[in-house]
Each structure stands twice: as structure tokens, then as C-alpha cells.
A and B are shown apart, each in its own frame.
Chain A
Amino acid sequence: TQLLEQSPQFLSIQEGENLTVYCNSSSVFSSLQWYRQEPGEGPVLLVTVVTGGEVKKLKRLTFQFGDARKDSSLHITAAQPGDTGLYLCAAPGGGTSYGKLTFGQGTILTVHP
């Protein structure tokens, strides 16, 4: 079972600040996904990265996949209160865990106006 270590667990910042969330593993990922979840809702997919070194942008969000495909980061520029939520990285397993998504511990982001 591949473990995903996500950090930080909690992040409380002021509107306009920048932040970065990290997702690391000792295993190599075939792909990695980032989700955002609001209270009382299911996770919503933000992005999927599949190529080592890949960088994807979604408005103020920048996602990076490490060259060795063992780590990923999510950077938010000029955070807004609407960015508040639980951010999760996830990766599908291989072998006997094929198709199963393993999630990181999650990062609870609170952006204060």
C-alpha cells in the first residue's frame, strides 16, 4: 500500500496570501489527483497529473508533479475566502490495489477575509 503524506494538516491564512500544500510518498505514482471538499459534500476533482515534471494551472491554483513522480504540490496565489475547504491528494494503487484511490491526510485551509 502506498502512503501519501500530506502537509500541512491545517493552514489558516489571510485573504491575499499565498500558500503551498505538499503531497509526498516513497513510492512512484502512475498519476496523482488533487481534490477539494467542502463540509457535507463529496470531494470534487481539481486536477490529474500524470507526467513527471508536469505543471498544470487552474486559475490561481498551480499543481506540480515531481520529476520522479513521488511528490506533488498545490500552490494557491492570492487566496480568497472561497478557497476555504479540505484539500486532498490521491493516487490510484497498483497490483492487488489496482484502481483503488489512496488519499493523503488532507489539508484544512481556512482563508480569513
Chain B
Amino acid sequence: GAVVSQHPSWVICKSGTSVKIECRSLDFQATTMFWYRQFPKQSLMLMATSNEGSKATYEQGVEKDKFLINHASLTLSTLTVTSAHPEDSSFYICSATSGRPYGYTFGSGTRLTVV
């Protein structure tokens, strides 16, 4: 089946630094990737949608300069949290689809803690 690898699974960084999270589709070409944020005991909130080779589309209220998304190839998308602050601490999850109906595959998530 379709597999999406997300790395790292957890990261601790100092306030003011930047952190990059990678999302790779291992056995299919991901025409579209999605990035979500999840707070404890809550649902997933969509942050942005990225299509290979084009700029990401951000949801309302998401700062595009803080959360930089790059989708340079059909198998890799990255999310960079710039100048991280403690309030950016969260669980970030990516999802990828090849465009096949109903075919969304999720990564295992990245726990970001900013200290």
C-alpha cells in the first residue's frame, strides 16, 4: 500500500531557531501534499496544501512566512517552521495523495517542542 514517511518524529529546538520537517511518499507520486497541525486531544487542522512545482496554498490564519512549504518533487514536501516560538509547539502531520479517489495517506507525525 501507499506509504508516507515523515521525519523527524520528534524535535526539540530553541526559541528563535528554524526547524524543517520532511514528508516523503515512498511508493507513489504525490501530486498533492497537505500539512496539518494538531493540538492535544483535538482534531487535525489543515494548514496548507502544496502541489508539486507550485506555491503552497495556505488556510486562513496560517502565516505563510512562518510556515514555509516547499514541494520540489513528486515525492518530497518540506515544512519549515521559521523563528520558532513556544506557541508553535504542536504535532505536525503531513498527508499525500496521488489524485486517486479517496486516496489520502498520512505520515506518522512530528512532535515539535520549542523551548
Contacts and interface: CB of A to CB of B under 8 A. Distances in A.
Interface of A: 6, 31, 33, 35, 40-45, 48, 50, 86, 88, 92, 99-106, 108
Assign chain B's interface to a size class: 20 to 34
Contacts of B106: 35, 42-44
B67 interface: no
A40 B109 contact: yes
Contact of B46 (A35, A88, A102): A102
A100 B109 contact: no
Contact of A42 (B6, B42, B49, B102): B6
B95 interface: yes
Nearest to A89: B43
A100 B99 CA distance: 11
